[in-house]
Every structure is written in C-alpha cells, then in structure tokens.
Chain A
Amino acid sequence: MAKMSIADALKTAIAEEMRRDKNVYCIGEDEDIPGGMGGAFTVTKGLADEFGFDRVINTPISEIMISGVCVGSAMMGMRPVADLQYGDFLFCMMDQLCNQAAKMCYMSGGKVHVPMVMRAPCGASNRGAQHAQSLESYFTHVPGLKVICPSTAYDAKGLMKQAIRDDNPVLVFEHKLLYGSKRKEKDAISTVGEVPEDDYTIEFGKAAVRKEGKDITIVANLLMSYKALEAAAVLEGEGISCEVIDPRTLVPFDYDTVLESVKKTGRLMIVHEDHYNCGWGAQVASWFAENAIYELNAPISRVCAYDVPIPFSPVLESYVIPSKEKIIEAARNLMKA
C-alpha cells in the first residue's frame, strides 16, 4: 500500500479512471502545461505524459465555456473532469452548473444525463476574499447536483473514482490546506496516508466517524474535521468526550450516522468553514430540530465562518474562520447548557 497526499490520491484516481474508461478526460485552465503547475495545486500535473493533450485539455480562461463544454460532452457520453483552479471561479459558471448541468436530466424528462465532475479547490489560505471561499453550501441547494468534500487521501481516491463513475454532475470541494502537494501552503496539514492500490470506490452518502465519543457529536468537513479532532483531543483532557463525524458528502448527506451518534451523545455541534448564514450546517441543524429534537439535551451549536468576506491579513483571516479554540469554547458551553 502506498502512502500519498490528497493531491496525489486525486491524481491517481483520475489516472486510473482514464485508463479504465476512454471517455474520461481532463479539462481546465493550466491543466497540464509542460513546466507549469498542473491546475493550481499539482493534481493534474504530468497526466498529459500518459494520456496526451487530446485527453488533458488546456483551455483559455473561460469558465462559461469550460463548464458548458463539460455539459455538452457529458450528454454525448464523455466523462469530463474539470479543474477550476480556485472554487471562487464557480460563480463565473453558475448558469452552466445550476441552469444547465443540474436541470438537463429533469427538463428532458429523464432522457439525457450529465456525468461530469467539477473540481473546486476551496478554503482560506492568505489569498484574500476572491481566492478563499468555501462555497459548498450554495450547491447543496440545487437539485440535480451532488456535492462531495474528501478530507483524507484514502477518501480522495475512493470518492473521486466514484464521482467520475457517477451519472450526474458532481462538485468536488478540495481544501487547499489539505492537498499536501509540493506546493507549500502556510498552515497546511499533512494528509499523507495509506492509499490502497486496488480499484476501490466510496459510496456517496456514507459519513465517516473519525473519533468516537460519548458527550458531543461534532459534524465537520474538510479542514474543519481536523480542527475538530484537535479540539477533541484537548477536550478529552477536560473530561469532555467528542465524537467527530466527517460527512464526506453533503449531497447526499448521511443523516443516519449523525442521528445514531446524537442518540448516544445528546449534543450536536456543526463546524464548517463556509459562512454561518444558510451554510449547510443550518440544514443539518434544521433537520435535527424537525426530526430528532427529543434526542437533544442542549441547543444545537454551530461554529462557522463569520458572515463577512474572507479578509487577507493572516490575523484577520484566522479570526473569521473557525479554529480549534472556537470549537473548544463552543463545546464547553454546550456541556453547560
């Protein structure tokens, strides 16, 4: 079994699928320019050496075109894997994602489908407000799209392969500080982990329990799943036992696993780097209020980015997004409630 970063696990998954299915291809800006970076974060670097530039397509900076080409080619049986460099650029292609990709199957009465993957690097990393966002919640609101967020190397390979094989449009949110690629990022967390060489996929809608606990259920995705684990280690010393659940996919969302945990702990905290107002945690909180309120012994707690654009200054940026300390504080308050 090989040890690798998330960046290399994603590359491995894409390469394996391209070998398996000749309809799989990569498309994006700076996708694999000789001497270039391979997208912005090295994931697609070197793929053209094996698959050629007909299947690893470098595009003009034209997000509407890229996303529309994905939709059109996908309807004809291709399986595009597009790279966006920065998830913030999703806004440049909203029509193609939300009006076209998401609705084509439905509007056609189930006669066509759009198997495409849109890879969106996300998360604050000292780049300012337009290269920092965690936009996953926007897309959880659009029927027809699937939204996934791999946070370990093992998951990255298995979920990416599943995304490529899925017959629907899938947005993949990849956190910049979790890639672990050669491109160094301040405050990056090493995600190098065991990745089996075999051809495995991970079913969507199956959350992973990262740590078992009995007092508080913490649901956290991407970088925040690591912050939650750091906080849980500190809280353990205070006698507060946290169960940390990484949902792994937001659409579909595994309510069952979270519910089982809440039945045990009686307390629910949701942590995400996406904004507080209408963030996906609001949906999860609402679901528990509607369906499981009698399992709760305390109000639901949400730790999210403040509702401001992400500022540049490193001190301001870390103030705005959730941290280990904020999670610890929220957990202490939950135990008092």
Chain B
Amino acid sequence: MPSKKKAMAMYERMYLIRKYEETIYYLFLEGIMPGTIHQSTGQEACAVGMLFDLSKDDFMASTHRPAGHDIAKGVSVKSMMCEMFGKEEGCCHGKGGAMHTGEFSVGALTANAIVGGNIPIAAGVALAFKMQNKPNVIVCFMGDGATNEGSFHETMNAAAIWKLPVVYVCENNLYSATTSIKLTCNKDNPAADRAPSYNIPAEIIDGNDVLAVNEAATRAISRARKGDGPTILELKTYRHGGHSRNDACGYRPKDEEKLWIQDRDPVKLFRARLLAEKVATEEELQKIEKEQEADVQAAVDYAEKAPFPPLESALHDVYWEGGNK
C-alpha cells in the first residue's frame, strides 16, 4: 500500500472515472447526448495504475475507449463533457468527439479510433524524446484486439531494435468488440506471449488491482526512462458494458460477467482494501465520492448550457493555423 495521500488520490481518480462513465451512459439512454460511446467502466484500475506517476511532460496514447485514460492523465472532466456534447469548449473544440478526446498540454494525445493506429505513433513520440534527449516516456494503451493488427507487430519489432522509451499496455478485456479473444489469437495472452518474439520483456498483471498495475507501471516506466527500451504489460480486465452503445453483450456468459463485474470490480476492490487496511474511513471515502459526483454533475450542467462551435469553425484547422488553446 502506498502513502495514504497517494492511495486516496488514486481512489479519487478511479471513482471520478466510474462516475463520469456512468453519467455518460445515462445521458445516452435518455437520448440527451449525440454520437456513440465506448466505455471504460470496469477498467479504471488500468488507467489510474498506469498513469498515476507520470508527469505532464510524459505522454499517453489512448484508443477508441479513452475516457478513463484521459481523466487519469489529467484532462479536465469539464472539457471532456463539453466535447461529448459537441460544444465549442470541448477539448477538441467539438471536432473530435468521444473517440478522440485528449489534451496535448497535459500529455494526453488525441485518442485514436483506428485499432492499433496509436501504436506506431507512440513509437514516434518515444523516438522524438530520445532524439531530443528528453527524460520522458510514453504509455500507449491498446485493446487485446489491437495485438492482431500489423501495426502492433511492425512497431514492437522497431521499438525493440531502437530501445524506445515507451510502455505498451494491452488492456485484455477478453473481447475484440464482440469476438472472444479465444477465436482471434492462438495464445492465452495475446500481447505478453508474443513479446518474446521481439525480445521485449513482458508482464501479465491483474488489471483490476490498481496497486499491482501501479507497481508494474513503475518497473516498466523506469526501464523506459533508463534507456532500456520498451515493455509490454498485459492487464487482465473486463469492460462492464458492451463494446459500444448498442451492444447488449449477448455473447458473454452470465457467470463470466458475474465473476468480473460483481466479484472483481476494481473500484469496489480497492475501496474494500482501503477500509480493511485502515488507510481510510468510510466517512473519508464517502466524502471523496460525493465530491467526484458533484464535479461530474457540474460538468454536465456546464456542458449542456455551453455554446456550440460557430459553423465556420468546421472549415478551420484542416491545416495548421498556428495552434489553438
């Protein structure tokens, strides 16, 4: 168990992500929010454990399921909520949407909705750190499905040769959209089992144990910072909801869902541990939870009333115009 301050801050982030995703889900059900959603509910420990110790000059590359990663990296919930509503004050000024949230100034790359698309880009970021003699690293998330993309294999090979300061994190939630990983890869651990092919060290971690994830992150980030090259971390986890907004998960066994969602919920598990190890009291945790709920609600209230972008803005930023805030 880390210091009380760190443990409480980690719980706060995890709870904020959980509340944000739950709120988004209800806004969609009510038909208030446009677009589609790919939610990270259930994968909070991966995001917070991996990113908690990074500085804002370290970077993170996310996927079509970016909300947890973005919040864990420090993107403001208000700017993300505005983006979800397509508003001008969104983190992408309404041009990105749910699958492209991010904020360069806090080290969160524009999230990438092409499976595996962010993998070579993260290698490029890492190469830039190396060429510029910067001490920074990048953590690149991918789903289990991305390990079957050519971009994964091309990039692992090169990242290993060049000893790039990058940590590749496979959040293995057992399904590529609706297809079981058992049907799409002839290995039990689609990322970690392939790592030896590239001479990259790998670890398989309980992705719902935020402290285990955080300890593995510390090891991998330290390797990257020392110039020892990339690490592959395969985090075993589970998404509580479907792949996207209309997915009722008819392909998942009920006992599997019960095991992961009820018995292995990362937020509940960490909460119970904080209480059991007397790191926090029930009152302290409730106080944190109320604050996060209030923050998310304030973001919703703000975003709903915020103005849409002016129509002519759609014709800008195709080419660089010098940099928007």
B-binding residues in A (CB < 8 A): 23, 25, 54-55, 59-60, 62-78, 80, 95-96, 99-100, 104-113, 115, 143-144, 146, 167-168
Contacts and interface: CB of A to CB of B under 8 A. Distances in A.
Nearest to B321: A110
A76 B61 CA distance: 13
Nearest to A54: B131
B110 A107 contact: yes
Interface residues of B, number: 46
B149 to A, nearest CB: 8
Contacts of B318: 105-106, 143-144
Contacts, number: 152
Contacts of A113: 320, 323
Contacts of B155: 62, 64-65, 68
B121 interface: yes
3 A-B pairs with the lowest CB-CB distances in the bound complex, closest first = A72-B124, A68-B120, A109-B93
A168 B320 CA distance: 7
B112 interface: yes
Given A69-B127, A78-B128, A112-B104, A64 B319 contact: no
A23 B129 CA distance: 11
B93 A110 contact: yes
A72 B123 contact: yes
A276 to B, nearest CB: 28
Nearest to A77: B128
B109 interface: yes
Given A59-B158, A71-B124, 7 more contacts: A60-B158, A68-B119, A75-B104, A78-B127, A78-B132, A95-B114, A113-B323
Contact of B151 (A59, A65, A75): A65
B230 interface: no
Given A68-B151, A111-B104, A95 B319 contact: no
A71 B155 CA distance: 13
A64 B320 contact: no
A62 B317 contact: no
B110 A104 contact: yes
A62 B124 contact: no
Identify the interface centre among B127, B131, B319: most chain A CB within 10 Å of its CB: B319
A112 B320 CA distance: 8
A242 to B, nearest CB: 34
Contact of A64 (B110, B131, B154): B154
Nearest to A109: B93
A101 to B, nearest CB: 9
A109 B90 contact: yes
A60 B123 contact: no
A109 B94 contact: yes
A69 B316 contact: no
B324 A62 contact: no
Contacts of A77: 128, 132
B15 to A, nearest CB: 28
25 contacts: A55-B131, A60-B158, A64-B150, A68-B117, A68-B119, A68-B121, A68-B151, A69-B121, A69-B123, A69-B124, A72-B121, A72-B126, A75-B121, A77-B132, A78-B132, A95-B117, A95-B151, A99-B114, A107-B95, A108-B95, A109-B91, A109-B95, A110-B323, A111-B103, A111-B104
